[in-house]
Chains A and B, each alone.
Chain A
Amino acid sequence: MPRDLTPSTIENTFVLKALTERIRLDSRSFNQLRDLDISFSSTDYGVVDVKLGRTRVIARISAEITQPYADRPYDGLFIISTEISPMAAPTFEAGRKSEDELVISRIIEKSIRRSGALDTEALCIISGEKCWAVRADVHFLDHDGGLMDAACIAVSAGLLHFRRPDITIVGVGSRREVIVHPITERVPVPLAVLHVPICVTFSFFDVRKASAAIAGLPGKDNMKEADDDDVEEENDSSTAVLVDATLQEELLRHGFMSVTANTNREICQIQKGGDMPVEVGKLLSCSEAAIMVAEKVTKLIKKRLKEDEARRNVGNLLVEARAENDR
């Protein structure tokens, strides 16, 4: 039975009152991300452990050969599975999709699959007969807010890290055979990742509603003066925008918007739910902030990938073992 995670009234008023004074409980600034740690498995390719603050998510990428869909013979398959179990938080039920889970899985679908992060045409082996089916399994270990963001980072990093076995096609015509080379024989091949989508969630708080919730306490009607580097417009200070909310902030927020961006200054998807109407200029500045976050996170992913490559590739033997010619 799922447990409700509603916070107590005291917690509510404390967090909201702090927000009206521009304080977040973990003393971050309003547009600061939590500490992000990305680590790759030292034994398997394509296993990523992402820690965003206290939120922990593991993504596992695997590939197998299968038959393509009949109406898309030139494309491989790419499936993302994001089942949330009660391990993440007691509010999730095993086997039943809660509304939060639906939102998370749809946004990850749109961010990664629909935006074409993975080139599915490159997964085709023999058109109409054989293709690679890449599967991304996301396991949510700990829920402290930002499940979407952490999952997106994990899958993107996993796709960049994963190596599939090299294959050769022998024979001609209808008697073609695919030989899959084990990684002990041939160096495995990376996937064709076209761009790295990073999802950023912005949480909106209506300060007027917050002030009403803490009625009786001495408070301010509007926020204190916005700092220069905060994502706010000077003339509309009745809406507070928080980047990367913790679970407590998530439960108390009045609305949210999730923006997926990449380093090419492209916005892959925007989902702003109907919870709280927000002025349109604010939404635009949030999208711009998302691009900056995407750049920072992509840089970190690439740095960790390089470190992992160095750890695996001691003495640069992998370069010698490659079967491809230098062109």
Chain B
Amino acid sequence: MTGRARARARGRPPAQGTALPAVGAAAAQKALPGQLPRQKQPQQPCARSPVPEETAGRGRQRQTQNVPQGQERKPEGLQISAGLQELSLSDRGGRRRDFHDLGVNTRQTIEHVQDSKTGTSGSVIKLVANYFRVMSRPQWALYQYHVGYNPEMEARRLRSALLFQHEKLIGKTHAFDGSILFLPRKLDNKVTEVFSRTRNGEDVKITITLTNELPPSSPTCLQFYNIIFRRILKMLNLQQIGRNYYNPDDSITIPNHRLVVWPGFTSSILQYEENIMLCADINYKVLRSETVLDFMYNLYYQVEEARYRDICAKELIGLIVLTKYNNKTYRIDDIDWGGNPRHTFRKADGSEISFVDYYKRHYNQDITDLNQPVLVSQPKRRANSLPGPVILIPELCFLTGLTEKMRNDFNMMKDLSIHTRLPPEQRQREIRKLRDYIQNDENVQKELQDWGLNFDSHLLSFPGRVVQGEKILQSGNVFDYNPQFADWSKETRGTPLICPKPLDNWLLIYTRRNYDIANTLVQNLFKVTPSMGIKMKKATMIEVDDRTEAYQRALQQSITPDTNIVFCVLSSSRKDKYDAIKKYLCTDCPIPSQCVLARTLSKPQTAMAVATKIALQMNCKMGGELWTVEIPLKQVMIVGIDCYHDTFAGKQSIAGFVASMNQTMTRWFSRCAVQTRGQELVDGLKACLQTALREWFKWNKCLPSRVIVYRDGVGDGQLNTLVSYEVPQFLDCLRSVGRDYNPRLTVVVVKKRLNARFFAQCGETFKNPPPGTVVDVQVTRPEWYDFFIVSQAVRNGCVSPTHYNVIYDTSKLQPDHIQRLTYKLCHMYYNWPGVIRVPAPCQYAHKLAFLVGQSIHKEPNLQLSDRLYYL
């Protein structure tokens, strides 16, 4: 309800420096296209080892031969992937992260889904998804060779040059990173020796040894596909920014906000359930047609001088910039106010040069403002880069993306969404365009043919299931809702709540200017509360000055032990006032509170609707219950976890943790774990789980026989950390409760940021799939027990599905039951009378983590932990 509530917490975890055993080390056990998808693979007795056994991608044989078993094999896998990626990514530094969590095989540990992981209920719906099958010749394989030099040659370029003196032997189609060579065809001999001569007349023996024949589904091969595909996107003259490619020719300018939007594509090629497929989606890059220096000047005129540097840093730090002279992106980590472009730096050859001269000489770029500060970017560890931070000149940098301030700017987001929110019909048409580009470009076709690859001309189509809608239960009444809107606000209006909490003793704090608004609100609340069953008395009205201290004093003076809730009418969305109120009322003086902007209350046409929402929210914050759905599972505790990563203040992360306390899932216990730098998040989570179990015992006089954890806030490439560290810790925690206590544990990773899109095909047209659409075939991954649910309905644009990956499960629950339970939980978020995108516990955990991360910065008082005070 406040401005902040609209703000999104961006649940993007900090980049992981050290990656998982990536490509080379992955357990590539899965079916080739054409093989039976559900064929049982021979299981290894010890199913889960932190370092998966490697079965493919042995690139550097000589090194491998004498490597002892165990941990030291890990870096070898890394080397392979890093080396390979350099092929295409050397212009932006090799990336070592495995964004697709390849090689984390969790399904093999879950016995009851070995044969089938698909659900059964619901009606069939014809779906089309944004995937294209990758087609290859029959018996296609990629041949991996190790290339050795004698005498040893250091420079990669030299190694390439020497090798390609033998292009006749190798052929025109090849990929070489300096040591590993990939060819689409097999050389005549397993070991080939050739001689080349260097410029200095030195003769070099080159030994080309076959190390691997890679089937199309091997992880190395998949990574190779992705590299080839990136080449293709470049050939299509798309511009690379970050991980994606964009088409500047179709750019859209939004002059009101000095924004430029580039349409583009995200793409990745992976092994899915039955096929290797390209997942392609439309993506938009927001750029700004002003330099960082322009931005700084504009900001300077908008804020007071004393706070300028702070605000400027807050706005800029963390943003990604492009430069005028190269095609790299940099993250702004700091602003050096003492620096300026006349300062000098030491070049690689040891000479000193000033920034002004350097940019003039090398790039013919004139720097006009010699007094501007400089930006500092700390590069992530890269093999070839110089140590130390990169200094950037604001005048030569352009901002990309949106700042937090812009995200909160409703008008700006509205103007943007006109261009970026495509309806399903249009979206699938745009996605098909990529395929057309590939098909119609001669060079691209040639490249693909040389490698013996191609893409299916149609989007993938397959059947999905729409599970039946839930019945909303509220005080003996049963409601159906219109599945098209997935919203029951109209249906349940005027029905008593399951558990209304009386408003006997409450405070209403407002400024003089908002006196009328506050009064009107009270009157409206008197009108809407009786039908809900809420007993309400007049509020204690307190008028304060519009200053933070005035609010604080009012709170300190007027709160009594009997106060149910504090209501504050705020006149502006200034964050400090809100933070101060929340901090005081969540830690020092634990009382639920409701802050609402005066502006929200001021519009007469929406006043009643707003009052209704506020009444419901206040009721939840005081521990009331609104509605429920039928939950057939007994003795189950549902846990939701989400993280908030504070990028600015001390870089701490907060995990929100909520756990259901009753059978109807209407009451939730909550805690949060504040993690300082260098500390494992899981330590805090263990403590949270322990207290939750204790609390469950208090409520139910027994311990839950099942615990189901919905874990949100897991970044790309972090799955292995979860499997190897977090899950064992949960198990440990459950074991520590008592010797005879052995509950069944299910851990489900919830992911909202996906590239997968589903379209419901109705004749010739494409629509959003209805809420309750479940997908557990084709686009899922063979090595996971995973599924997608489209749970929410959207009015504009395309609905995005949520991905659920069951990484640990001893519950023996049928996949259908897990799917249904998950969908049911999406009905239980009390801040929205409708179905939401994630299970309610995830959304509650998110709200809690966001409140703590944004405003409170430490764990709230545990006296509040049995209520939804963080809504």
A, B in one complex: no
Binding site for B on A (CB under 8 A): none
